[in-house]
């Protein structure tokens, strides 16, 4: 449970940092913040394998997207999904 709580907090922190960056037009910075967190979730062996798997697939998919705005939104969707799974 402590790992889940820590990952939920990590997601919250990423969103707290990413939203202002995005809203100020720095979509690349937002995508970078989100990608760091999604990668961390994908690599964390202590969380549910379905979350790791979906985050790993998202890292690969988002890495192929060149539009920073689209990448930020894609990653945010994944973070929201992981948040829902880990916080319940």
Model confidence at 28: pLDDT above 90? yes
pLDDT in tens, 45-86: 999 899 999 999 999 999 999 999 999 999 999 999 999 999
pLDDT over 90 at 1, yes or no: no
Q: Name the burial class of residue 59, with classes exposed (0-12), middle (13-18) and buried (19+) by CB atoms within 10 angstroms of its CB.
A: middle
Specify whether the CB–CB gap between 68 and 29 falls below 8 A.
no
Nearest to 30 by CA among 39, 38, 22: 22
Q: Is the pLDDT at 3 greater than 90, yes or no? A: no
Q: What pLDDT shows up at residue 36?
A: 98
What would the two tokens of residue 9 be? 């907090």
């Amino acid at each position: 449970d402590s790992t889940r709580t820590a990952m939920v907090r990590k997601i919250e922190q990423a969103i707290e940092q990413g939203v202002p960056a995005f809203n100020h037009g720095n979509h690349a910075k937002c995508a970078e913040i989100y990608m760091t967190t999604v990668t961390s979730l994908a690599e964390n062996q202590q969380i549910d394998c379905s979350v790791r798997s979906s985050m790993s697939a998202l890292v690969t998919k988002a890495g192929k997207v060149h539009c920073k705005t689209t990448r930020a939104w894609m990653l945010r969707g994944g973070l929201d999904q992981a948040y829902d799974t880990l916080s319940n």
